[in-house]
Amino acid sequence: MKESESVRLVNGAGLCSGRVEVKSNQSWASVCEADFDRQDAEVVCRDVGCGAPAALQGGLYGEGEGQTWDKEFQCKGKESLLLDCDTSDRKHNTCPPGNAVGLTCSEPDDVRLVGGGSRCAGGVEWYDQGEWRIVGADWNKENVAAVVCRQMGCGSTVSVPPGNITRGFGVFCSWSESSLRECSRSYDLLPGLTVICSESVRLVDGAGLCSGRVEVKSNQSWASVCEADFDRQDAEVVCVELGCGAPAALQGGLYGEGEGQTWDKEFQCKGKEALLLDCDTSDRKHNTCLPGNAVGLTCSDDVRLVGGGSRCAGGVEWYDQGAWRTVGTQDWEQEDVAAVVCRQLGCGSTVSMSCLSLISTYVVSVTVGPLLMLPYLLVQPDIFLTDSMGGVSRGHQGPEVFRGYSFTITCSTQPQYPGGSFLLMFNGSNRTQTQLAVNHSAAFLFPAADDSHQGNYSCVYDNYVFAHNFSSESELLSLTITASPLPAFIIRHVVVLLILLTSITTSYLYYKPTKRQKRVNRVSSMDLYVNAMEMVSLSSRAEAGPGEERAAQGTE
């Protein structure tokens, strides 16, 4: 536990609670409650190596026997030491009894940042076995830094300056841990790790460090920001503060809703500020923030992949000091750097790497940089059913096809890469069909439906991209084979018979019953009858479908 040279807590239950006393002329003086507020308390808790203030009250830990501090503290809350704070003359001449301020700080974190000017910046130290030890990291220092910022509630990592000459025990993290306790450690001496976190703003629930729901630190907790209180100039400041590129997307509900409170001010940034909390604010114009309006932000990354055909493949470049610079690595660290790049770009896991000789324009030498081949997932293909004979209907369980009718299953995908092929899979048997993709689609024709076609179908789109095979499967299409609908068959034949009877009756009433006319009428009636019966036959064959029609012809 750290022991401060300028301030101490006495008569408490431990090192993190007690009456506040300040060193004055080689003696200790208690502080009057009227001269001390919560921002002063935050600095004291930090100064003595403890957590955030939990209780602040006059007389909480008794009265001091010596003198009383004769100044009023005016800390901003971010100072590392109490004596770094401004002071002013006291407004009161005396401190009444029972007003010596008492303070209770929360128990210390086992991680702290020292020497950086605030609790969210500095060298990383870990409290271990009764003392603070320097944390060292080398090739995975960005991962360790992200865990430290997360554990301390300091938002996202802004930067990780080069390791200093001080050595510390090695810590290795995979980035996803919630605290350093979950990381692995060794006693190899590595360069001391320095971290600068954003203590005022963070992006959460996004695909990487540069996207997510905007949350602002408010009274030691995080609050989401309403879309109506945040504009593009505010977004520019946030992206700069987090070390990302310019804003690319800004929308309410883009990354879900926050579970806590909502920020109660409207930001009025000019776009040039270095920190969001440096911006002016005003009272909100709206009393509430409606659901779906927590603002989400996507900043462009300070890392990119070039020359690989997509945003998730190519040579690694890092935007630094106004220019894109080629990233080079040693052979033994390529996999770790690749994993960080994949995660930062929201591109999943590393697929493969290869070395490519690159001539650096910043250093007069030839460097070797990794050419990362990252997975760019193929878009999920679509599957749908079509027909040309009216033999497809929509049932309760999905599409239905009448026996004997032809049908077509079509697979298609969005334009993404040229070429590729579609594999039509059917779970009712081992039958599969493959066709090359033409205009990003393929049609599989079935001439006559029977019971063997009933089951679940899916389309699998395969493509060979960047020297690797990729595939993506559609949702299932559940197909049912049914008999022709009997009611429609009956209705159609009844209609034909009614037409026949009407025609015969009309013909009989129209012509006179002379002997010659009777003979003509008989011929005309016979022609009408034959024509009507042909209509019935054609209708029957169409209703039976191609399969049954062929069976009928064989019988004849």
* Residue 293 forms part of a structural domain: yes
Residue 231 half-sphere exposure toward CB, CA atoms < 13 A: 9
> For position 548, what pLDDT does the model report?
45
Tell whether 496 and 545 lie within a shared domain: yes
Q: How far apart are CA 12 and CA 209, in angstroms?
A: 41
φ/ψ (deg, to 5) at 425: -105, 140
Tell whether 365 and 336 lie within a shared domain: yes
CA torsion sign for 275, 280, 285, 288 is positive
Tell whether 41 and 90 lie within a shared domain: yes
| Number of structural domains in the chain | 6
- Asked if 432 and 423 touch (Cβ cutoff 8 Å), the reply is yes
> For position 511, what pLDDT does the model report?
60
Instruction: Summarize the confidence of residues 181-199 as an average pLDDT.
Output: 83
412 pLDDT tier (thresholds 50, 70, 90): very high
Q: How far apart are CA 11 and CA 126, in angstroms?
A: 27
The residue with greater pLDDT, 20 or 26, is: 20
CA torsion sign for 433, 436, 440, 446 is negative
* Residue 1 forms part of a structural domain: no
pLDDT at 536 over 90: no
Tell whether 396 and 459 lie within a shared domain: yes
- Asked if 9 and 16 touch (Cβ cutoff 8 Å), the reply is yes
Q: What are the respective helix, strand and coil percentages of the chain, to the nearest 5?
A: 25, 40, 35
Tell whether 310 and 387 lie within a shared domain: no
Last residue of a domain, one of 299, 317, 332: 299
233 pLDDT tier (thresholds 50, 70, 90): very high
Lowest mean pLDDT among 145-159, 457-471, 535-549: 535-549
What's the one-letter identity of residue 120?
C
Tell whether 101 and 141 lie within a shared domain: no
* Residue 120 forms part of a structural domain: yes
Tell whether 137 and 186 lie within a shared domain: yes
* Residue 292 forms part of a structural domain: yes
pLDDT at 27 over 50: yes
What's the one-letter identity of residue 72?
E
Q: How far apart are CA 211 and CA 214, in angstroms?
A: 9
Residue 280 token pair = 């002016």
Write down the pTM of the prediction.
0.38
Query: 3-state SS string over 176-222?
Result: CCCCHHHCEEEEEEEEECEEEECCCEEEEECCCCCEEEEEEEECCEE
- Asked if 399 and 480 touch (Cβ cutoff 8 Å), the reply is yes
Contact residues for 485 (Cβ-Cβ < 8 A; gap 6+): 402
Q: What is the DSSP letter of 300?
A: P
Count the Cβ atoms, other than its own, within 10 Å of residue 217: 20
Q: How many residues in total does the chain contain? A: 556
Q: How far apart are CA 160 and CA 191, in angstroms?
A: 12
* CATH number for position 439: 2.60.40.10
- Asked if 467 and 374 touch (Cβ cutoff 8 Å), the reply is no
Tell whether 436 and 354 lie within a shared domain: no
Lowest mean pLDDT among 221-230, 364-373, 402-411, 492-501: 364-373
User: What radius of gyration do the chain's Cα atoms show?
Assistant: 39
Tell whether 260 and 294 lie within a shared domain: yes
* Residue 2 forms part of a structural domain: no
Last residue of a domain, one of 373, 397, 419: 373
The residue with greater pLDDT, 377 or 518, is: 377
Last residue of a domain, one of 482, 507, 522: 482
pLDDT at 445 over 50: yes
* Residue 312 forms part of a structural domain: yes
Tell whether 250 and 330 lie within a shared domain: no
CA torsion sign for 330, 336, 342, 346 is negative
Tell whether 284 and 327 lie within a shared domain: no
Name residue, tokens 């503060």: 241
* CATH number for position 287: 3.10.250.10
Tell whether 142 and 225 lie within a shared domain: no
> For position 107, what pLDDT does the model report?
67
> For position 369, what pLDDT does the model report?
40
Portion of the chain with pLDDT greater than 70, in percent: 70
* Residue 243 forms part of a structural domain: yes
- Asked if 555 and 546 touch (Cβ cutoff 8 Å), the reply is no
* Residue 244 forms part of a structural domain: yes
Range of the domain at 259: 201-299
